[in-house]
Chain A
Amino acid sequence: MSKKVLTVDDDPDIISFVKTVLEENNYIPLIARNGEVGLDLARTEKPDLVILDVLMPKQSGIRMYRELKAEESLKNTPVIILSGIAKRTFLRSQEALTEFGDQPVPEPDLYIEKPVEPDELAETIKNLIG
């Protein structure tokens, strides 16, 4: 049975690119354009993998990632961050939120700074969820 991959990104070009890679590799793509919608979709669809952008309207990937990791049913879902925002920033932001009293969260399974080659993305997904 094909595995479901949720992509959360506000850039239509990235969505189109990732969707094509997923379909060509027999995954079922799920799409959300911001963290709020992405989180709702993750709750209802229980994807096997989440590919998450950081800088988005409504709710950023940083906040959505924290919420994913806080939910019992979602916290073990692997997450690839695919973003123009540097990994260093993502980690510092998580540290800052933890300092403000939030629970600490683990690092994402993989962090890829945009752009990414289709083969690299397909290989990464395969390594994570088969």
Chain B
Amino acid sequence: MKERKLLFVTQFEELWFDALQSLMDLRKSGFNHVVFLHVIERDKVAMHRGKGYLKDEETKLREIANIRFIDWAESLFEQGMEVGAYIVVGNPLPKIISTAEEEDVDLIVTGHHKKGKVEELYAGSETVDILKRTSTPVLVYKYMLPSGKINERPFERPILAMDWSPASERAVNYLIKFKDIIKEVVVINVASEKDIKGASAMDIQATRKKNRQRLDEICDIFRREGMEADSHLYIGDTCVEIEKAAQEREATMIVAGATGKSGLKEIFMGNVAKKLAKYSAFPTLLVPANIKPEIN
């Protein structure tokens, strides 16, 4: 099996080592290489009036990050894993993109900041910005369950929200890579109320039937890979219904396609991805339209 790489982006506020440990199930899917990235935001060390560039502050922040990464790396090395680390100064978004490219990672894991200046950075529009500029899927990882317990197997029962876009169809193929750790995929489609406004009962039923068949076809793809799959239709606000479905079906993660291309559909998708990343209580795996070719 090809060794896969995971880029673990942390500001030490939202993602700690227990978050990383809870992702160790991914080793069964070939993720044996973890790359840590900590970005020291430029404004923490940049030129200040009368002080100049805060070199001592940069050194201090680098060493703090280094001590943490060494401790984390030791735990992973002892499990036979490969580990790398980057501690860089700059703006997080370009640094995440450049590190993901430099290391050719298969998955980017970011956290969800609850407050502060960087709140928007990973969880909202910036997550979509990452997806616009990379072909690598992004997991916005909320590893604490609403109960306060750690989500120990986030890939065990993903809920896949299909909108029939190329990105969501690629999300199907991406999930298959995790078949060794997925117990069941719950595939859903959310029809918006405006889609059926003015339609006859017959038309609505026809649409329902058609979407149901498409969902069943997706389930069949998973089943052919030896995975369990189930499908459900929802109607209403897309994000609200996805979140509701995740709760009802006891999902461990939400998976959705996302694309940064222009056009109304993509704007809508960008908004869904942004809202899910920002507001969902579940880990959210967002898969961009262009997945890099897999070499097995």
Contacts and interface: CB of A to CB of B under 8 A. Distances in A.
A84 B66 contact: yes
Contact of B82 (A63, A85, A90): A63
Contact of B69 (A55, A60, A90, A100): A55
Contact of B74 (A58, A59, A85, A97): A85
Contacts of B70: 55, 84-85
A89 B74 contact: yes
Contacts of A76: none
B74 A86 contact: yes
B82 A62 contact: yes
A97 B66 contact: no
A97 B83 CA distance: 13
A58 B83 CA distance: 9
B80 A93 contact: yes
B77 A57 contact: no
Interface residues of A, number: 21
A3 B78 CA distance: 34
A120 B102 CA distance: 35
A100 B77 contact: no
Contact of B73 (A55, A57, A63, A92): A55
Interface of B: 35, 66, 69-70, 73-74, 77-80, 82-86, 102-103
14 contacts: A54-B73, A56-B84, A57-B102, A58-B103, A59-B84, A60-B82, A62-B82, A85-B70, A85-B74, A89-B74, A89-B78, A92-B78, A96-B79, A96-B80
Interface of A: 34, 54-60, 62-63, 84-86, 89-90, 92-93, 96-97, 99-100
Given A57-B35, A62-B82, A92-B77, 19 more contacts: A54-B77, A55-B70, A55-B83, A55-B85, A56-B85, A57-B84, A57-B85, A57-B86, A58-B102, A58-B103, A59-B82, A59-B84, A60-B82, A60-B84, A84-B66, A89-B78, A93-B80, A96-B78, A96-B80
